[in-house]
Structure 1
């Protein structure tokens, strides 16, 4: 109960504060800060709480692949003479910060995607952080900080520290490429297989795989009911989730522009793949083995799971770990046809006349980072842990363990020298080709209706095979389906308002 009262008093005080009339002081990074900022950040006085044991909740992949234990051990070694330590919190010890935090059962520090963390920030379960005094501040681009922005009395504060950038990337195994790719599938002679440059060419090669005789059974295989990855088809042709840079839930834009064209291509892929496994969310777990055993040539997922592919490759006995690391490739997603029809153009034309016939794909993405619970007894020790975990050295190590792209510019520059993927992600983020997932609470009402729409859309080719009436066999019907999706999301938001 003491924690609840304390948290309520702190949050009440924050809301009661009036923003300063002028700049109060300069931070360590020479950013002028207001009186309100100084008052809100007063708890972060730099005095480490003696005897603090910080509970850290990280993601399962980072735990499984050993990164988190390395991080915890390194932090404890660095702070062994300062009276604080950290310990990893098991995911089964935690259910919900809003309900567990007040009673001392939640984490002090939590690593998560921006949309999940900020759901708790909006309800004041996360602390605004003194980012202008942090070593990492000037190394992280503003568009990454924006993923954790919140408003207090008309002033912008940040409730998370960006750690890595997430978005879809195309994975393939180089030794699984067809033997003739350099002579038959590189007509622009740029050293990249044509079927990884445009989706039209990838569709054509996937059709060839279905005929048999190639190294893999399928060319491209993916879960066509996954909203996170499939939404990029809608975004590229004018769709969006929420207006005003993802902050206005009254403006739902999934049916905007010509987004129906993107949906039509999702349907084309579902028919081409002709595999009911792509209609199941369990596909994402099976994808690692499917790539390793040659079921498919390529798939799209996020950079943080690269080690899972490597592990699957080694488990087949065909690669050592060193060989698997060298053989697994991750590149940017192909370009989409301007025609929004994967079969309308000759695939060769989309390579030789790429700028006219194709367009770069916009993908959904996110910024993963750290937040501090509003119920922690150890704000300074927790901040010290985050400072350590977001340092240049740990950003580079996190990439080595997990393959993720850091949000720090200096770490990204170092890693890009050996791994161009990191540079690609930064470039796409800067050019607006990564649409950062909205961080407002209403985003929670997107997933279920969107998945239902994608299931119906992807099931249509199978209805046709069975001689049943299709739900989405015209552009008008697809547009109407997207309009219904928008209505369902709006109704859900209003119901829970």
Structure 2
């Protein structure tokens, strides 16, 4: 029987049941794609697990949970709460026995929570995820999560304005010479192609594509900051070219650049933009005849390398039924269930490689295919706590360079110094 507990209207109120599994179950590391033992027999567990998710996942979990209950003999209780509220409350709810047994987390939070002892180590089934996926949920050689959904920045383009899909930044530069995209009131500027590069999340793909990086050792060494390396500076200089030679002044406004880009694309004043899959609904509602494709190749011939994003399942270390929680994570991430999530619920792209391949082979979802292809060139965002100190310094870096207040090297050096100082003060 599935029990669904929902939040009340009052902010902060939550009806949560403590996990009540007995924890006296046998483990089996050999788990197949369907969540069964290597010999084809289902691993029998017992007790109860609480699965805590946001409202956009409650119906999905409620639909698949009966099959899990029948197969494993474990009762599933579904509770509804905002993902970030759940994560923020974990340090108090966990010791008090109020934390769910299974929850979701953005990839960039998993490593830090694991290092703090908040998450249990888990095992990933073989042949289900790729190297990028696994890096998202692993820190210090320990895996603390199971990849669930993926996302990446992509390029949206207006089919009515372009005869061919741009595949290189040289082609995007050529578009800026078309008078159709001249920006009124600022002679000599163009909105043919727009990207929110004053925002570091959006500009990182440019910096990484030129050889820059956030932290060394695959994002785990905060003593090695690579945002002022020669490659990173070259990428920032290319952004300067767009800010200073092509784009209107509004592209340097940290608070409104994103809205400006959306408005220009909806008004058909921009032929191509960079945005994430979350932008698609807005363009559909506005009636834009758009297509989606991977971001064009950079002038140096390298791929644009944005941050790889998404969410993974994790097990709070306070769970009293970790074995059952592990089995549920394997179950929810199998091909059948992840395809159900994609087709019938959120349309998010599953991390499950087999499901991704099916989406590509089907060939009908242009947005999903573009995200999957771009994700293959994406860089996992560092998931250690020190990443929190990068955002503000890097944002200032892009503004200072783009506005011409500083050279690209000066802006990068200053940003790295701020990031280093903050990390030393907070984490050392």
TM-score of the superposed pair, with normalisation by structure 2:
0.77
- 1:439 is matched with 383
The structure with more radius of gyration: 1
Q: Distance in 1 between matches of 2:369 and 2:93?
A: 39
Q: Does 1:74 align with 2:68?
A: no
- 1:386 is matched with 329
Instruction: Specify every segment of 5 or more residues in structure 2 that has no aligned partner in the other structure, as ranges.
Output: 1-22, 34-42, 185-189
Could you tell me whether the CA contact under 8 Å between 2:205 and 2:306 is conserved in 1? yes
Deviations 1:432-474 (A, max 9, x none): x3221112221111111111111222333xxxxxxxxxx23xx
Deviations 1:199-218 (A, max 9, x none): 232133234244379xxx83
Matches within 5 A, 1:189-268: 192-193=164-165, 196-208=166-178, 209-211=180-182, 218-268=191-241
Q: Does 1:331 align with 2:305?
A: no
- 1:37 is matched with none
Matches within 5 A, 1:21-32: 27-28=30-31
Runs of 4+ with >6 A deviation: none
Which residue of 295, 298, 307 maps to 1:364? 307
Against the structure 1 CA distance between its residues 427 and 297, is the aligned structure 2 distance closer, same or farther, given a 3 Å change threshold? Answer: closer
Which residue of 137, 162, 167 maps to 1:148? 137
- Structure (1/2) with the larger helix percentage: 1
Aligned with 1:260: secondary structure? helix
Q: How many residues align?
A: 380
Against the structure 1 CA distance between its residues 144 and 83, is the aligned structure 2 distance closer, same or farther, given a 3 Å change threshold? Answer: closer
Deviations 1:255-310 (A, max 9, x none): 1133222111222222322142652245446755653343533321233x1xx523
Q: Distance in 2 between matches of 1:275 and 1:399?
A: 39
Q: Does 1:90 align with 2:46?
A: no
Deviates more, 1:381-390 or 1:115-124: 381-390
Could you tell me whether the CA contact under 8 Å between 1:231 and 1:363 is conserved in 2? yes
Q: Distance in 1 between matches of 2:230 and 2:183?
A: 39
Could you tell me whether the CA contact under 8 Å between 1:225 and 1:281 is conserved in 2? no
Could you tell me whether the CA contact under 8 Å between 1:223 and 1:279 is conserved in 2? no
Could you tell me whether the CA contact under 8 Å between 1:289 and 1:313 is conserved in 2? no
Aligned with 1:456: secondary structure? helix
Could you tell me whether the CA contact under 8 Å between 1:279 and 1:458 is conserved in 2? no
Q: Alpha carbon RMSD of aligned pairs, Å?
A: 3.3
Q: Distance in 2 between matches of 1:111 and 1:207?
A: 46
- 1:279 is matched with 253
- 1:126 is matched with 119
- 1:49 is matched with 47
Instruction: Specify every segment of 5 or more residues in structure 1 that has no aligned partner in the other structure, as ranges.
Output: 1-9, 11-23, 31-44, 183-191, 339-357, 461-470
Q: Distance in 1 between matches of 2:216 and 2:45?
A: 42
Aligned with 2:314: secondary structure? strand
Against the structure 1 CA distance between its residues 486 and 99, is the aligned structure 2 distance closer, same or farther, given a 3 Å change threshold? Answer: farther
- 1:116 is matched with 109
Could you tell me whether the CA contact under 8 Å between 1:165 and 1:406 is conserved in 2? yes
- 1:299 is matched with 273
Could you tell me whether the CA contact under 8 Å between 1:144 and 1:367 is conserved in 2? no
Q: Does 1:398 align with 2:390?
A: no
Could you tell me whether the CA contact under 8 Å between 1:310 and 1:328 is conserved in 2? no
